């Protein structure tokens, strides 16, 4: 069974969690002549960028990054906004540059008796510790975010979307999963029958209550009353439900099963779109056979629930990328740009079918605490890579 390439997924996880970052100034990038099918324009497809942990940057660094994104034609970013004065100030400065935010929101708080899954960096460096989703408190969520959304609106901030949580369907970001796990991708039946998966399902029940609180907050707002509510971006594995190869100690619930279960709890009455995270394999490059395999991955796993079968909503692809493992400056980005162009065209065909609403590349930057360049960032060597230009060209309206 095919599972995500370990090095690509590992570097992406490190980047998202903030343990792998670089915000330094690099050397200039090399100009290269590339030949590939340019992404087709589609006016209805929102293209944006993930901005990694902007709260770890100084205001001057934030401004420099926002200016660079504006110059590149970025109109939408996906990031957290800390519910405080600094977060409000950042959101204002983004809005001043015509940039909207897909707001990644936390759960707000946890019950006083919430258990903790300890972080074990020696054994499981990518599996973060913390309280389980099942111990989250919807009332603390309401108390934290309702007043802050009011402050955002008083500042005239209109958001691109609300996205509560991140990858709640696997071990790294949902502490209802134990460590070590069974090395299994759970299906819908497991959420009712398997002891471990049943505990994860308890967290999903709480998650629906948090989403319901957000809907009440959103519906009572003024400027953001029509701003879409997304599910947490779900991690999509390119393989069937069931046991993973020996030695794989982490578990997940498939994207299909997660959405099917949440729908039984009333998901479609609350959210406007399903958010998914897609990391297709780069194996095979831009060959026709490789692209056929990627399309099968999207059809069968990642985008299966987007207005197909029982699915009732479009999908927002709030993370995707191909790893760029060449970290030299100047950078030859030709082959990577071809991959990005092919995949962007594939996503745009789904948008033409009305199944995909938005597409956020992961990521513009490395985390500010990183000591090394990761394989995910598109801004390198002091400039936007050719891949970034390929992806963003149409969203810039050029």
Per-residue confidence (pLDDT) for residue 358, from 0 to 100? 98
pLDDT digits (tens, 9 = 90+) for 8-50: 444 444 444 443 332 232 223 333 344 555 555 554 899 999 9
C-alpha to C-alpha distance for 286 and 279, rounded to whole angstroms: 15
Per-residue confidence (pLDDT) for residue 317, from 0 to 100? 98
Per-residue confidence (pLDDT) for residue 34, from 0 to 100? 47
CB under 8 A, 24+ apart: contacts of 30-35: 30/330, 30/331, 30/332, 32/332, 32/333, 32/334, 32/386, 34/333, 34/334, 34/337, 34/338, 34/386
C-alpha to C-alpha distance for 347 and 336, rounded to whole angstroms: 17
Backbone angles phi, psi at 65, to 5 degrees: -70, -45
Burial of 289 (C-beta count, 10 Å sphere; 0-12/13-18/19+): exposed
Per-residue confidence (pLDDT) for residue 100, from 0 to 100? 98
Per-residue confidence (pLDDT) for residue 373, from 0 to 100? 87
Cα–Cα distance list, 366 to 1, 69, 201, 226, 371 (Å): 31, 14, 33, 32, 10
Per-residue confidence (pLDDT) for residue 260, from 0 to 100? 96
274, β-bridge pairs: 315
Torsion of CA 55, 56, 59, 63, to 10 degrees: -80
Burial of 73 (C-beta count, 10 Å sphere; 0-12/13-18/19+): middle
C-alpha to C-alpha distance for 207 and 279, rounded to whole angstroms: 24
Torsion of CA 38, 42, 46, 49, to 10 degrees: 0
Q: Are 389 and 395 in contact (CB under 8 A)?
A: no
| This prediction's pTM | 0.89
Burial of 225 (C-beta count, 10 Å sphere; 0-12/13-18/19+): exposed
Residues of the chain below pLDDT 50: 1-34, 43, 394-398
| Per-residue b or e along 163-195, where b marks 16 or more CB atoms closer than 10 Å to that residue's CB | bbbbbbbbbbbbbbbebebbebbbbbebbeebe
C-alpha to C-alpha distance for 129 and 119, rounded to whole angstroms: 4
Per-residue confidence (pLDDT) for residue 35, from 0 to 100? 52
Per-residue confidence (pLDDT) for residue 19, from 0 to 100? 30
Q: Which residues contact 240 (CB under 8 A, 6 or more apart)?
A: 1, 185
Per-residue confidence (pLDDT) for residue 310, from 0 to 100? 66
Per-residue confidence (pLDDT) for residue 9, from 0 to 100? 45
Per-residue confidence (pLDDT) for residue 311, from 0 to 100? 73
Per-residue confidence (pLDDT) for residue 2, from 0 to 100? 37
Per-residue confidence (pLDDT) for residue 235, from 0 to 100? 97
Per-residue confidence (pLDDT) for residue 371, from 0 to 100? 82
102, β-bridge pairs: 78, 161
């Amino acid at each position: 069974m095919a599972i995500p390439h370990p090095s690509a997924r590992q570097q992406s996880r490190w980047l998202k969690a903030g343990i792998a970052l670089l915000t330094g100034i690099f050397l200039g990038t090399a100009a290269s002549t590339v030949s590939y099918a340019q992404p087709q324009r589609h006016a209805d497809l929102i293209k944006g960028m993930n901005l990694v942990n902007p709260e770890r940057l100084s205001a001057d660094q934030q401004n420099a990054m926002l200016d660079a994104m504006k110059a590149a034609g970025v109109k939408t970013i996906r990031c957290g906004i800390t519910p405080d004065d600094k977060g409000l100030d950042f959101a204002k400065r983004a809005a001043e540059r015509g940039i909207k935010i897909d707001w990644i929101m936390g759960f707000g708080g946890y019950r006083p008796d919430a258990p903790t899954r300890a972080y074990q960096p020696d054994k499981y460096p990518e599996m973060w510790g913390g309280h389980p989703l099942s111990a989250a408190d919807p009332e603390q969520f309401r108390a934290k975010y309702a007043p802050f959304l009011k402050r955002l609106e008083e500042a005239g901030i209109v958001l691109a979307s609300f996205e509560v949580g991140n990858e709640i369907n696997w071990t790294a970001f949902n502490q209802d999963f134990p460590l070590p796990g069974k090395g299994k991708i759970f299906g819908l039946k497991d959420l009712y029958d398997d002891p471990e998966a049943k505990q994860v399902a308890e967290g999903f029940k709480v998650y629906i209550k948090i989403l319901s609180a957000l809907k009440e907050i959103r519906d009572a707002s003024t400027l953001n009353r029509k701003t879409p509510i997304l599910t947490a971006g779900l991690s999509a594995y390119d393989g069937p439900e069931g046991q993973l190869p020996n030695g794989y100690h982490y578990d997940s619930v498939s994207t299909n099963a997660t959405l099917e279960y949440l729908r039984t709890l009333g998901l479609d009455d609350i959210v406007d779109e399903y958010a998914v995270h897609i990391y297709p394999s780069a194996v095979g490059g831009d060959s026709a056979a490789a692209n056929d395999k990627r399309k099968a991955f999207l059809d069968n796993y990642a985008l299966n629930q987007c207005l197909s079968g029982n699915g009732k909503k479009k999908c927002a692809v709030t993370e995707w990328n191909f790893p760029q493992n060449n970290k030299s400056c100047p950078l030859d980005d030709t082959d990577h740009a071809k991959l990005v162009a092919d995949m962007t065209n594939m996503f745009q065909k789904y948008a033409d079918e009305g199944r995909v609403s938005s597409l956020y590349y992961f990521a513009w930057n490395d985390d500010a605490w990183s000591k090394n360049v990761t394989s995910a960032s598109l801004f390198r060597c002091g400039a936007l890579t050719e891949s970034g230009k390929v992806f963003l060209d149409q969203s810039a309206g050029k």
